[in-house]
Chains A and B, each alone.
Chain A
Amino acid sequence: MADLTTNCGGIVSPNPFWLASAPPANSGDQVMRAFDHGWGGAVWKTLGTPIQNVSSRFGGLHYKGTKAIGFNNIELITDRPIETNLKEIAEVKRRYPKHAVIVSLMVETRDEWQDLIKRSIDAGADGLELNFGCPHGMCERGMGSAVGQEPRINERITSWAVEFSTVPVLVKLTPNVSDIVPHGMAAQRGGAHGVSLINTIKSIIGVDIDRMVLEPRVRGLSTNGGYCGAAVKPIALHMTAGLARHPDFNIPISGIGGIASWRDAVEFLLLGASSVQVCTEVMLRGYRVVEDMIEGLSNYMDSHGMKTLDDIVGRAVPSYSEWGELDLNYETIARIDPETCIGCYDCVVACQDGAHQCIYPGDNGARVPRIDESECVGCNLCQIVCPVPGCIEMVEVENGYPPATWNQHVATGAALRPKKGAH
């Protein structure tokens, strides 16, 4: 059995699965129930001056019969008194000393930061997370993503927090920026012990086409919210990997964004996250989802001979390269297994209309499509649309050309294979 003990920026937990700062980590009762289900840590719902929320608050992106593949919210930070939260944090730490409680904070002035940091640590916080990410409501008040989008302010507030704190400080980054790297670097310069990313993405989840009002609707109006859930994972993976592979960025990452199963968590760990945070899947399915996450990760690690999280964290980062470093002479083509093909022709229409016109209806009425291998560019589209597992395989072709990247071609004139599909 793999050892899942986690250390993310000095915050230690029995496993890498933390509740993200959000409704599931809103109260002591919830966090304790979550720990009973197996969660290794929890980032408390952001403390600050308690706010007043609207109803309604959440919206779901439903897609082809599947509910809430994406999700957004216009809820703000905690609406409960700071004293109540701190008292419950202390109670949780007293009862669950081995689990990580990270307190998320969002206030304005230096004095406020100092005061709330001290009180949080006095309550027993194992770490702090600075909420520089919230993309609605708080940013208009000069907090949340308004801080996260300004590297100088991020660095300054981070340095205050690090100065006042005796426990590790994570900075939660907003994805609502064109490049995540300057923002991660600002947190690092400020002295942060790690970063958490991503917070939610500015979004409009949908429009009620009969009322002609955005969702979620608050009387006759709505506003942009924060997008999250399974659908945001690719964006979060990109930002996580973007920091993890940067040569000057060297603090730990807590990965967030669309983690709904152990597989998603493995992807974040492979791309450099040393803990993961989950919110939406818990909101949709409950704390109980963590059992499969822990077991699935453990089974995965066992099957790959991994003993500790050190064996997995960052393992796929070296595979993230620049386009100019990819081998232009690597050639693949699609092969259809006639035994398993069911003759839907979805690959034919996808290739003809959406790709490079090399897949044709079968000869003499046969339902197994024919591939013109001399024109197939190896784009994968047919494999992506094929409904039959394993039916279309992308196979490597030996074309006699030694590997050559675009950068090598530009620098040294390395020979490139003839183009295919450029008819």
Chain B
Amino acid sequence: MSTTLPHAPLPADRAEAAEAFEDYKPPLSPGHAVVEANRCLYCEDAPCTIACPTHIDIPTFIRKIATGNIRGSAKTIFSSNILGMSCARVCPVEVLCVGDCVYNHLDQPPIQIGKLQRYATDVAFAEGWRFFEAGAPTGRSVGLVGAGPASLACAHELRRLGHACTIYEKRDVVGGLNSTGVAPYKMRADRSLEEVEWVLGIGGIEVKTGVELGRDLSFEALEAQHDAVFLGFGLGPDSWLEAAGSELSGVEGAVEFIEGMKLGTPDVSEVRRAVVIGGGNTALDAVRELVRMGIASVTMVYRGTEERMSGYAHEWKAGKLEDVKALWQRQPVGFEGEGRVTGVRCVKLGQDRQPIAGSEEVVPADLVLLAIGQGKLGELVSGLDGVTVERGRVVVGPDGATGRPGVFAGGDCANGGKEVVNAVAEGKAAAQAIHRSLGGN
């Protein structure tokens, strides 16, 4: 079996390659890594490990940095999380491992777990270390839909167990949101593609790009060709705000805009004032990215309050420091402009979340990004016997099983949109369940 990765090359002049998107959490030097690693209390039954969805043995990998066993440190990380390199960059550690570090209960800062994980995994990539081999061939094959973190983690685990894998990806670019959606100051598309190639290095994972479920490949054909199926197709396009003027040029979906920036160079030379509508993490990524692209005025417009926004508080704090403005309790009701958008018409919402009469105002904007959610793709499989789709999500049990024998799912299409690390955990758990369903132990 051969490994093929027919992804489209990235343009060298894509926006995220510019200096504006340098790391916002810069790497640790070797000396700093050792000092930080030696601060770790090496907790037993450690809260950080419990908080990690993939349950990386964090105290152990940190101790191995302290003793100079970097190879072993990386192995510990990748044994639990094969996408440990990207998770080190993109995980919201503040609300996961670092948030639960016991130092938070002491008068000292918590261990910089993400940065230490990045240190060990970066060394592993730089040294070209590989840790895992494919299991003895079982003669079984699994088809995986979507080439994002869930499918990659699932496929890698399945290969360790000896099952052949084929990943079907509708885009030209593999890696899912790591390549197309994660803020570039956390993870650049080229690092994501490097990671995908490293994961596929285990061999025996065929990747077919440009193949879309329901368009180029029927579910029946997929099931017929494989002994089991894993659905990891993520979320759909940006949800659209149906309001007057939303067809104007300059009104775009945030996810689509971010993808354009990671894979190319959107022209923002004429943009002076940008507005992002929404209060979730996509909105927060978008406002911080727009600031880095040099747009003078960036404003987040959210119908809720600062306290109730769904985006991470630590990200919003960083955004504020970068001079992002916010208008809280505002409901967009239309877009101004002729041909090109010039502003967003908003009304103020009261404590009862109802519009306040006479509060209408126009927020000037020559670029408006909609970050109000993404469509769910559950309808791709909603007609199948045994598969339940609720509000667009594929319903699964704890090990990723749907109600249809041999069909499993994980990642955003099942969890509705969580972190990369959740997708990895779900993909890995599903691989174990698939293995059992194929008669393995």
Chain A residues engaging chain B, CB cutoff 8 angstroms? 66, 261-263, 285-286, 288-289, 291-292, 295-296, 299, 388-389
Contacts and interface: CB of A to CB of B under 8 A. Distances in A.
A261 B73 CA distance: 14
B67 interface: yes
A285 B63 CA distance: 11
A291 B38 CA distance: 17
A296 B64 contact: yes
Contact of A288 (B60, B66, B72): B60
Interface string B24-44: 000000110000001000101
Contact of A389 (B31, B38, B69, B71): B31
Contact of B67 (A66, A261, A286, A388): A261
B68 interface: yes
Nearest to A302: B71
A295 B30 contact: no
B68 A296 contact: yes
B42 A285 contact: yes
A204 B71 CA distance: 40
Contact of B72 (A285, A292, A388): A292
A296 B60 contact: no
Q: For this complex, into which size category does the number of interface residues on chain B fall? A: 10 to 19
Contacts of B31: 388-389
B67 A263 contact: yes
A263 B66 CA distance: 11
Contacts of A262: 67, 69
A289 B63 contact: yes
Given A291-B60, A292-B60, A292-B67, A286 B72 contact: no
Nearest to A65: B39
Contacts of B30: 389
B63 A299 contact: no
Contacts of A299: 69, 71-72
Contacts of A289: 63
9 contacts: A261-B67, A285-B42, A286-B44, A289-B63, A292-B63, A295-B72, A296-B72, A299-B71, A299-B72
A389 B64 CA distance: 19
Given A261-B66, A263-B67, A296-B64, 10 more contacts: A66-B38, A262-B67, A262-B69, A285-B42, A289-B63, A292-B60, A292-B67, A295-B64, A295-B69, A295-B72
Given A288-B60, A389-B31, A296 B69 contact: yes
Contacts of A66: 38
Contacts of A296: 64, 67-69, 72
A292 B73 CA distance: 9
Nearest to B64: A292
Contacts of A388: 31
Contacts of B69: 262, 292, 295-296, 299
Interface in B53-106: 60, 63-64, 66-69, 71-72, 75
A134 B58 CA distance: 38
A246 B60 CA distance: 39
Contacts of B75: 295
A378 to B, nearest CB: 24
Contacts of A295: 64, 69, 72, 75
Best-buried of A66, A263, A296 by chain B (most CB within 10 Å): A296
B34 to A, nearest CB: 9
Contacts of B44: 286, 288
Nearest 10 interchain pairs by C-beta: A296-B69, A261-B67, A295-B72, A389-B31, A292-B64, A299-B71, A292-B69, A292-B67, A285-B42, A296-B67
A288 B63 CA distance: 11
Nearest to B68: A263
Nearest to B69: A296
Contacts of A292: 60, 63-64, 67, 69, 72
B124 to A, nearest CB: 12
A387 to B, nearest CB: 8
Contacts of B64: 292, 295-296
Best-buried of B42, B66, B67 by chain A (most CB within 10 Å): B67
Contacts of A389: 30-31
A245 B68 CA distance: 29
A388 B72 CA distance: 25
Contacts of B71: 299
Contacts of B72: 292, 295-296, 299
B66 to A, nearest CB: 8
B29 to A, nearest CB: 8
A292 B64 CA distance: 6
A66 B42 CA distance: 13
A42 to B, nearest CB: 20
A261 B42 CA distance: 14
A362 to B, nearest CB: 23
A420 B68 CA distance: 37
Interface string B207-231: 0000000000000000000000000
Contacts of A285: 42
A33 B246 CA distance: 66
Nearest to B75: A295
Contacts of B66: 261
A198 to B, nearest CB: 22
A110 to B, nearest CB: 45
A299 B74 CA distance: 13
Interface string B226-248: 00000000000000000000000
A82 B22 CA distance: 66
B277 to A, nearest CB: 47
A421 to B, nearest CB: 30
